[in-house]
Structure 1
Amino acid sequence: MLQKEDTVFVLVDVQGKLARTVVDSERVLGQLEKLIRGLQVLDIPIIWLEQYPKGLGETVPELVQYLNGLKPIPKMTFSACKNDTFISKLQSTGRGQSLIAGVEAHVCVYQTAMELHTMNYDVHLVKDAVSSRTASDRQIGIQAMEQAGIKGTSVEMALYELMEVAGTDTFKQVLKIIK
């Protein structure tokens, strides 16, 4: 299970036109918004990635508005693990569990998750907050990650695991976000 003190969130490439053309884009963006807002209430570190922003565009404004105080890490590699800035930021958190979500499930999310897993991170794929341009590519990416031992989760499941208890002010804040 996810542990609050050991979890970092990796937000992968939710940019420009691509973010709007993936399968169920509105639902995925809504789930990512809930996840980001909930993780901020829980004080979970967020690492924000952008694949070739000059070509793909910037992260969609619906999410940027909730990423106050953070800066995206631009990358050219599909796996963020081949980016020194990402690795440095990740290691500086001191965390061993990684939540991962974004686009595309079968390319950048897949390659980053697989390399994190190889690096002995406990990787949890937020399945209701990932997508690809086609449903089959989304499914293939998710299946490949699961077959490699990456755990599947959802926005609500992850947030409830990280909260652990009800009745707190934190619980009440997160509940308002996910309901």
Structure 2
Amino acid sequence: MLKKDQSVFVLVDVQGKLAQIVKNSEALHENLEKLIKGLQVMDIPIVWLEQYPDGLGSTTESLASLLEGQQPIAKMTFSAVGNEEFLRQLESTGRKQVIIGGIETHICVYMTAKDLVEKGYEVEVVEDAVSSRTEANKRIGLEKMKGVGVSVTCVETALYELVGEAGTEEFKKVLKIVK
């Protein structure tokens, strides 16, 4: 079960043209926006990644605008665990539950999730907030993650698990975002 005080979100490489050509790009962006807004309501830290931004471009404006005041971590390794700045930011949160979303499911999302599990983190991939250029590659990435101990969730399940109960101000704010 995800816990507010133990969770951190890792946004992986939703950049440039690739972000527009992955399967169900529009739904991916809508779901990531809901997830980010919901996590912000609960003050859950977000670690923001970009793969080789000089070549692939910057994060999609709709997502980058939600992360004002933050800077993305540029990386060259497919797994973010190979990036010292990523590890520094992640460890500085003091949290051990990682919620992960972004692109591409079968490459950077998978490799980062796998390496985080190996480092002792509890990782949940948000199935409706990840994508690849093909549906088959997304499925393969999800299967590989499950095979190494990553749990699968969706935007609404993750947000409601974190909120925990109805009737609170956080719940009311999250409900408006999700609906």
Residue 127 of structure 2 aligns to a residue in which SS?
Answer: strand
What is aligned with 2:73? Answer: 73
* Separation (CA, whole Å) in 2 of partners of 1:58 and 1:167: 38
Alignment of 1:22-171 (within 5 A): 22-171=22-171
Report Cα offsets for 1:65-109 as digits up to 9, x if no partner: 111211100000000000000000000000000000000000000
Give the letter aligned to residue 35 of structure 1.
L
Give the letter aligned to residue 2 of structure 1.
L
Question: RMSD of the TM alignment (CA)?
Answer: 0.5
Residue 40 of structure 2 aligns to a residue in which SS?
Answer: helix
Give the letter aligned to residue 53 of structure 2.
P
* Separation (CA, whole Å) in 1 of partners of 2:121 and 2:69: 26
* Separation (CA, whole Å) in 2 of partners of 1:148 and 1:121: 12
Give the aligned length: 179
Residue 78 of structure 2 aligns to a residue in which SS?
Answer: coil
* Separation (CA, whole Å) in 2 of partners of 1:175 and 1:58: 30
Residue 50 of structure 2 aligns to a residue in which SS?
Answer: strand
* Separation (CA, whole Å) in 2 of partners of 1:151 and 1:174: 22
With the length of structure 2 as denominator, give the TM-score of the two structures: 0.99
Report Cα offsets for 1:1-39 as digits up to 9, x if no partner: 001000000000000100000000000010000000000
With the length of structure 1 as denominator, give the TM-score of the two structures: 0.99
* Separation (CA, whole Å) in 2 of partners of 1:157 and 1:68: 26
Point out where structure 1 has 5 or more consecutive residues left out of the alignment. none
* Separation (CA, whole Å) in 2 of partners of 1:42 and 1:17: 31
1:15 corresponds to 2:12: no
Between the aligned residues of both structures, percent identity stands at 57
Deviation at 1:150, TM superposition (A): 0.5
Deviation at 1:147, TM superposition (A): 1.5
What is aligned with 1:177? Answer: 177
* Separation (CA, whole Å) in 2 of partners of 1:81 and 1:31: 25
* Separation (CA, whole Å) in 1 of partners of 2:111 and 2:147: 14
Residue 112 of structure 1 aligns to a residue in which SS?
Answer: helix
* Separation (CA, whole Å) in 2 of partners of 1:85 and 1:147: 27
Residue 124 of structure 2 aligns to a residue in which SS?
Answer: strand
Runs of 4+ deviating beyond 4 Å:
none
* Separation (CA, whole Å) in 1 of partners of 2:72 and 2:154: 23
